[in-house]
Amino acid sequence: MERKISSLNDSTLLSADYTVKEERHSERQPDIDLVQMLLKRQAELNSLLEITLAINKNSDSSVLYEMLEVVLRTNLNVGSMMMMVKQDKRFACVSRFGVPVESLAETQSMCATLAPLKTISSLNDFTDPSLQRFNYFVPVRHKNSTLAFVLIGDFNAVPELLSHELNFIQTLINVVVVGLENKKLFRERVHRERLQRDIELAGEVQNMLVPLTLPESEFFDISATYLPHQSIGGDYFDFIRLDEDEFIWCIADVSGKGISAALLMANLQASLRAWTSVERDLATIIRKLNEVVTKNTNGERFITLFLGRYNIRTRNMEYVNAGHNAPLLVVDGTVSSLKSGTTLLGVFDQLPFVNIGKQKISENTLIFNYTDGLIESFEEDIFITEEELSSILLRNGQERPEIINRGVLIDIQLSKMAKMNSDDITLLTLKIH
């Protein structure tokens, strides 16, 4: 009897002990869940911190995408993912795992289907085969535009944590996309600043090329008008006194704009001044200039140029027109063109021919040099013929060169209702007494 009672008491004690342990376990379970939650939050914060540091270190976009993939795979147990980022007007896949490569047509069709979605959404009800691989759509938006989105598949989150984890994924891709967008804006700003600096440098170079003053003489008057379309232009003119009796002048137009065009002009000017100091033959000078242009541009740019030389004592003029707008020679009410010469500089390694123009200059001869900006305005669809320009010169030809330049510009602006601001304009007018 005593044994039975003892046995019963033992059993009762064991049962009571088990009940106490169960109660203690149930009391500790919320604490364990809370610890796991805190650890998970800590891991999430660490992930955000690492990605933010990578952005601040200016890491490449591929590094950021790889970090994002690691977080999704490891911390969030995502089985498949596709990240699409808007580039220009279309979305492009920048990162993926666990899914096959989509064709361009499939990708764009998928993006069109998802376009109406503006918030985190379930994809369970979509019938598109490309979307059936995924469970959720997670977008990143700015104002009224979707910048990027992530498709999440094989994602078995705890129901109570699903909303939080999807929001965390959205935060992650938001940080990555905004970081990359800021890098892009920074690069664009740097590019603009460099471009502005290039423009300033080109302007400085060009200011050094254009003669600040032109000589005064009892034998001739000369005046130039230079109107660059922008802060830098592709036109160039020069006047070089060779000795007491002779001088050379030129007017030129280089294809293209910017610092490279300005540097090419600077190089042309240096070469011209160097060769005219040691060489009198215009054919030799023009061939040397062509070699310089061809060597420096590899055929990617060309220059039109008119080069003239006048001897005050003999009144002889020689010239070479290398594909430039033919200057107009006005003598006793008649106008002729100075066309003899050669082709554009920089087109051929060796000029195929060079013809030297020669002219005896009588008293009160006007030589009007100009670039194509004076007679062509493609934006305004305005074109001045040589006959029209000749008539303008005949009306203004008795004035001083600076008045002639101004009169030509005003006449064209009024008669054609032209603004004349679509290209560089250079006028170089020489009046020989």
Residue 334's pLDDT is: 94
Considering only CA atoms, give the Rg of the chain: 40
Q: Phi and psi at residue 413, in whole multiples of 5°?
A: -60, -40
| Cβ–Cβ under 8 Å, residues 346 and 292 | no
Residue 210's pLDDT is: 75
Q: Report the chain (433 residues): mean pLDDT per 10 consecutive residues.
A: 44 47 50 66 81 84 90 89 88 89 77 88 88 91 88 85 88 89 83 77 69 88 85 80 95 80 83 93 96 88 95 97 96 95 94 96 95 82 89 91 94 82 85 94
CA distance 423 to 206: 16
Residue 200's pLDDT is: 73
Helix axes 2-56, 159-209, angle to 10 degrees: 10
CA distance 329 to 288: 27
3-state SS assignment for residue 185: helix
Query: Which single residue is written with the structure tokens 């023009």?
Result: 286
Token code pair at residue 163: 């909303």
Residue 50's pLDDT is: 87
Residue 233's pLDDT is: 62
CA distance 340 to 318: 10
Residue 14's pLDDT is: 45
Of 343, 280, 284, 290, the closest CA to residue 316 belongs to 280
| Cβ–Cβ under 8 Å, residues 167 and 149 | no
State the number of CA atoms in the 13 A half-sphere of 414 facing the CB.
7
CA-based angle 158:159:161, to the nearest 5? 65
Residue 161's pLDDT is: 81
The beta strand positions in 315-389, using DSSP E, are 316-322, 328-331, 334-337, 341-342, 357-360, 365-370, 376-377, 382-383
Q: Which domains does the chain have, with CATH numbers?
A: 23-185 (3.30.450.40), 211-432 (3.60.40.10)
Residue 158's pLDDT is: 78
CA distance 216 to 401: 12
Residue 36's pLDDT is: 65
3-state SS assignment for residue 331: strand
| Cβ–Cβ under 8 Å, residues 53 and 80 | no
Alpha-carbon distance values, 33 to 2, 29, 41, 193 (Å):
47, 6, 12, 54
Q: Which residues pair with 342 in a beta bridge?
A: 322
- Record the pTM: 0.61
| Cβ–Cβ under 8 Å, residues 210 and 416 | no
Residue 283's pLDDT is: 96
Q: Give the amino acid at 74.
A: T
CA distance 173 to 80: 15
